[in-house]
Amino acid sequence: MDNNRGQWSSKIGFVFAAAGSAIGLGNIWRFPYVVGENGGAAFVLLYILFVILIGLPYMFAELALGRSSQKNPVGAINSIKQDSLWKWVGGLGVLTGIGILSFYGVIAGWTFGYIFKTATGNLGEFGDFVSNPFIVLLLFAVFMFITTMIVYGGVERGIERWSKILMPILFILLVGLIIYANTLEGSGEGLAFYLQPDFSKITGRTMLAALGQAFFSMSLGMGLMITYGSYVSKKENLISSAFLIGLFDTLIAIMAGLIIFPALFAMGENPSAGPSLVFVIFPKLFTQMPGGLIVGTFFFLLLSVAALTSTISLLEVPVAYMVDEKKVKRKKIVWVVALFTYIIGIPSALSQGASGFFTEFSILPDRLSSPDFLGHMSFLWGDFSLAFGAFLLSIFVGWVWGGENAARELESGSPFFARTKTIWIFMIRYFIPIVIFMILLNLFGIFD
């Protein structure tokens, strides 16, 4: 193997790194506000359904493609279909990694800033904080710098080691916060909003929101699992790994909701406040909780780490592409890609009040994206591009590479898979692309 590439040291190492990619701001920042905007429990059920029926089987496809080719998304596609237009699907994935990182890094920067705000008890107004151009740009830069340093260290020593230590700590802290939030007076109503479904709240838009959230949260649709799968050895069981990744990811999102909604109703706040939701609710929770500032500092620290294992993975995709395909040195190219991403992220960073132009940026209809630059980036890369990428990749795996070939790869390390492979092949060839296609059409208002 090309010694510029690396490999996970063990199955646990791989599962933690992939779960580290999946678990991030998507679970703790994005999931609660998307649930809040889409009416609560019914959306949560729909979300879980998409994770099981679409996210998981689709994840198998990306992992199989990555491990079989031992390449980044573009190289993986090229190794199956030489120099065809399909390689652009891999290219879209690489671009999507940069696109998501450009706004995700901004929010990760806020999280990082909140460590210090909470530690010093200086919580103030969220709106004042994010509209300060100097602070947001600095925090974004610091976060990108840390991300780059770790990706610089490579697959095993950089990414794997960190994920293994810090993810379990986050889990324990969340359990503690769930207990606390649910003892607050008035929290029961929040729990009901979160857990008692009202199916009249499901509309076409909710469907896309749920699907988009499933892809975003599980890091699917841009070839991240192709890239991480390329570092897995042939002996490992990809199926059980994918199950664990999906399970951990969903669990953390559900847990975040079990803190946010009870706390939110107890404090009389509005669940559909949008992206600012957790940055408003958590600080309030910490302010009124005994010893809350210490717990809160720790919370934002771990949330920053969760975000970090995701930003690392987002940067890893374009870097792996450059290392494999352009034969450049990892240690040089990481800085170039990171700097480029930072520059295109500046408008997002300034779009929460710092610059009037970017704050009021609105070329997409309001039903699709919030009217600011960051909202546009989040819709374009985080919702649309992931769903579109997954649509194309499922066709590529199911039809061009062939379901049978992909299934054979999955059987290596998990012989049990042979028994269910007919169902899986049907899903990857028909069910998954058709469902995604319908939801995308709906996005453009075709069924309205």
Interface ranges with ligand PHE (CB under 6 A): 21-22, 24-27, 100, 216-217, 219, 222, 224, 310, 313-314
Tokens standing for residue 340: 């480029």
Considering the complex, state which of residue 155 and residue 184 has its C-beta at the smaller distance from ligand PHE. Answer: 155
Considering the complex, state which of residue 96 and residue 187 has its C-beta at the smaller distance from ligand PHE. Answer: 96
Considering the complex, state which of residue 131 and residue 276 has its C-beta at the smaller distance from ligand PHE. Answer: 276
**Shortest Å distance, C-beta 221 to ligand PHE:** 7
Task: Return phi, psi of residue 222, to 5°.
Answer: -125, 15
Of all residues in the shown chain, the one whose CB is closest to ligand PHE is 26
Tokens 């408008």, located at residue: 347
22: nearest Cα among 237, 214, 150? 214
- Using CA atoms, how far residue 110 sits from 126, 170, 178, 331, in Å, is 10, 18, 23, 27
Angle, CA of 249, 268 and 376, to the nearest 5°:
50
3-state DSSP of 316-364: HHHHHHHHHHCCCCHHHHHHHHHHHHHHHHHHHHHHHCCCHHHHCCCCC
User: Does residue 382 sit in helix, strand or coil?
Assistant: helix
Name the percent of the chain in helix, strand, coil, to the closest 5. 80, 0, 20
Report yes or no: 140 and 105 within 8 Å, Cβ to Cβ: yes
**Shortest Å distance, C-beta 122 to ligand PHE:** 27
**Shortest Å distance, C-beta 108 to ligand PHE:** 9
Considering the complex, state which of residue 219 and residue 352 has its C-beta at the smaller distance from ligand PHE. Answer: 219
**Shortest Å distance, C-beta 294 to ligand PHE:** 25
Query: Which segments of 45-102 are extended strands (E)?
Result: none
Considering the complex, state which of residue 137 and residue 252 has its C-beta at the smaller distance from ligand PHE. Answer: 252
Rounded Cα–Cα distance for residues 368 and 374 (Å): 13
Considering the complex, state which of residue 27 and residue 297 has its C-beta at the smaller distance from ligand PHE. Answer: 27
Report yes or no: 151 and 316 within 8 Å, Cβ to Cβ: yes
Considering the complex, state which of residue 13 and residue 403 has its C-beta at the smaller distance from ligand PHE. Answer: 13
**Shortest Å distance, C-beta 249 to ligand PHE:** 7
Considering the complex, state which of residue 219 and residue 348 has its C-beta at the smaller distance from ligand PHE. Answer: 219
**Shortest Å distance, C-beta 51 to ligand PHE:** 12
**Shortest Å distance, C-beta 394 to ligand PHE:** 16
Considering the complex, state which of residue 101 and residue 407 has its C-beta at the smaller distance from ligand PHE. Answer: 101
Rounded Cα–Cα distance for residues 355 and 112 (Å): 22
User: Does residue 443 sit in helix, strand or coil?
Assistant: helix
**Shortest Å distance, C-beta 141 to ligand PHE:** 20
Angle, CA of 10, 12 and 15, to the nearest 5°:
115
Rounded Cα–Cα distance for residues 261 and 270 (Å): 10
